[in-house]
């Protein structure tokens, strides 16, 4: 482990002490603090105003009971969370995750990342995150609806277009957002479109929001390739996951001339040397909510493996789009040994710290999620903009805006890395550029 700057080590100690057992949150904080040494040296005013000590403490954390009745008439109890982390730049903004692994430490890590991600977009949005340990997998639509209605009954007190604007994340897509918005509308007696993003196109949603995280991920990586005079043309790519982020990342890679040869879900991975058939993948995962093995059953060129890691599949470019800490040190060694030269995080923190160090020492370019996957939340901000002006943009216009935003984020990260003497270090560039914008706003707003 690297040593933190003397001004930053006590901040991290305080985080460990205040948030016992929240290992993902500790990891996310450490990864940011590790980059900020040169910033605190240059800006003692940030230290004097305790910006670091304040930024690691959420403005507000809400934990609530979510009771609901399943199809067999049993009462079920889940736990709901909303961590409103930082609103210096705008209303809290970030998704809701429904997954059995969700606990306060996961929500805090995601909320903390979201502050810097949202800052990097250059848009007026603060950072927050929420969710529940509810598992939508295997539940009927009616059960998902009753759960969402109960969840929103409590959450509705804490959100609003000027306060906090949730969206989707793992386990929360169009279906869940529909039930959540319906209940919010009913409780408030108001069609407040701007309270949620990721809405359906017939009820206030934006074109490209569904595709945005995946497309944006590939737009970012395309910029990295351009900066070295290269492109996706002819590249062999592995994308982990098969959810909303992975599906549209795969589609965009293939539009740009690359071939995605593998993707996965929690049951295993498929290899398809002919290139992933996106329509078939969508049918299996989005329409039928099935397992990835069904893809291999329906596609002669594909095979399914339930053992081992998807990162054993050789590739030029790796795009982890599944979940946190899915790519560890040994995976990183395998990827580097197989000739991978670029890794971009489509998911939030999918790479362990040890794996990131392997990439750094092996000369593999590593682009972190808070920059790479910011296209999702950026397009959420475009959705808020359309809702506020009661407008609705075309697919082409929205996609152009997304591409422009991703190019802007790439350039901001690259220029900041250069400015701080770390050329090519996208981790330092993203952390410093994201942090500085929030820190300046916090300084201006006083001790609050």
| Contacting positions for ligand GLU (CB under 6 A) | 93-95, 117, 167, 169, 197, 348, 376-377, 380
**Distance from C-alpha of 195 to C-alpha of 181, rounded to nearest angstrom:** 8
**Residue 416 in contact with residue 35, Cβ under 8 Å?**
no
Q: Are 92 and 127 contacting, i.e. CB atoms less than 8 angstroms apart?
A: yes
Shortest approach of ligand GLU to residue 61 CB, angstroms? 18
Nearest partner of 274 among 303, 305, 245, judged by Cα? 303
Q: Report which secondary-structure segment, H or E, holds 236.
A: strand 236-240
Name the minimum Å distance from CB 229 to ligand GLU: 30
Nearer of residues 332 and 378 to ligand GLU, judged by Cβ: 378
* Least separation in angstroms between CB 153 and ligand GLU: 21
On the CB side of 58, how many CA atoms lie within 13 Å of its CA? 26
> What are the b/e assignments for 342-361, b being 16+ CB within 10 Å?
bbbbbbbbbbbbebbbbbee
The pair of structure tokens assigned to 198 is: 């990721």
HEC secondary structure over 117-149: HHHHCCCCCCEEEEEECCCCCCCCHHHHHHHHH
Residue nearest ligand GLU, Cβ-based = 95
The single residue of 129, 210, 252, 285 carrying the catalytic annotation is: 129
3-class SS of residue 81: strand
| Nearest partner of 270 among 287, 289, 251, 291, judged by Cα | 291
Q: State in angstroms the smallest separation of the CB of 99 from ligand GLU.
A: 12
For residue 68, the surrounding DSSP H or E stretch is strand 60-69
Q: Establish whether 210 is a catalytic residue.
A: no
| Residue 197 to residue 380: CA distance in whole angstroms | 6
Contact 210, 248 (CB under 8 A): yes
- Please tell me the total number of residues recorded for the chain in this structure: 448
Query: Which residue numbers are catalytic?
Result: 129
């Amino acid at each position: 482990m690297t040593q933190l700057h003397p001004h930053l080590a006590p901040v991290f100690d305080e985080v460990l002490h205040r948030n016992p057992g929240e290992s993902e949150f500790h990891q996310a904080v450490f990864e940011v603090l590790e980059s900020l040494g040169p910033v605190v040296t240059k800006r003692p005013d940030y230290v004097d105003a305790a910006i670091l000590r304040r930024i690691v403490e959420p403005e507000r954390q809400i934990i609530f009971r979510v009771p609901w009745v399943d199809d067999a008439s049993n009462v079920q109890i889940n736990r709901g969370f909303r961590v409103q982390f930082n609103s210096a730049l705008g209303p809290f903004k970030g998704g809701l995750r429904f997954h059995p692994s969700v606990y306060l430490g996961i929500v805090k890590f995601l909320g903390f990342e979201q502050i810097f991600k949202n800052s990097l977009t250059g848009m007026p949005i603060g950072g927050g995150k929420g969710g529940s340990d509810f598992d939508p997998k295997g539940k009927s639509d009616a059960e998902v609806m009753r759960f969402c209605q109960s969840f929103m009954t409590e959450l509705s007190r804490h959100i609003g277009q000027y306060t906090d604007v949730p969206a989707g994340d793992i386990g929360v897509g169009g279906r869940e957002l529909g039930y959540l918005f319906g209940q919010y509308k009913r409780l408030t007696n108001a069609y407040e479109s701007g309270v949620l993003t990721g809405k359906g196109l017939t009820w206030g949603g934006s074109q490209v929001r569904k595709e945005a995280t995946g497309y944006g991920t590939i737009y970012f990586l395309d910029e990295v390739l351009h900066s070295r005079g290269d492109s996706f043309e002819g590249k062999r790519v592995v994308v982990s996951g098969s959810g909303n982020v992975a599906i549209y990342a795969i589609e965009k890679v293939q539009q740009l001339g690359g071939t995605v040869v593998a993707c996965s879900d929690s049951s295993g991975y498929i290899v398809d040397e002919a290139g992933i058939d996106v329509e078939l993948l969508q049918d299996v995962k989005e329409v039928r909510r099935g397992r990835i093995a069904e893809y291999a059953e329906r596609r002669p060129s594909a095979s399914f493996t339930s053992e081992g890691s998807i990162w054993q599949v050789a590739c030029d470019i790796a795009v982890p789009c599944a979940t946190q800490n899915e790519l560890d040190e040994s995976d990183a060694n395998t990827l580097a040994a197989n000739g991978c030269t670029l890794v971009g995080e489509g998911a939030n923190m999918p790479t362990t710290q040890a794996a990131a160090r392997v990439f750094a020492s092996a000369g593999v370019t590593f682009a972190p999620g808070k920059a790479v996957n910011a296209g999702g939340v950026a397009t959420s901000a475009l959705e808020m903009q359309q809702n506020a002006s009661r407008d609705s943009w075309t697919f082409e216009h929205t996609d152009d805006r997304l591409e422009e935003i991703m190019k802007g984020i790439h350039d901001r990260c690259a220029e900041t890395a250069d400015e701080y003497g770390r050329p090519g270090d996208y981790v330092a560039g993203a952390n410093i550029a994201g942090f500085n914008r929030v820190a300046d706003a916090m300084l201006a707003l006083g001790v609050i």
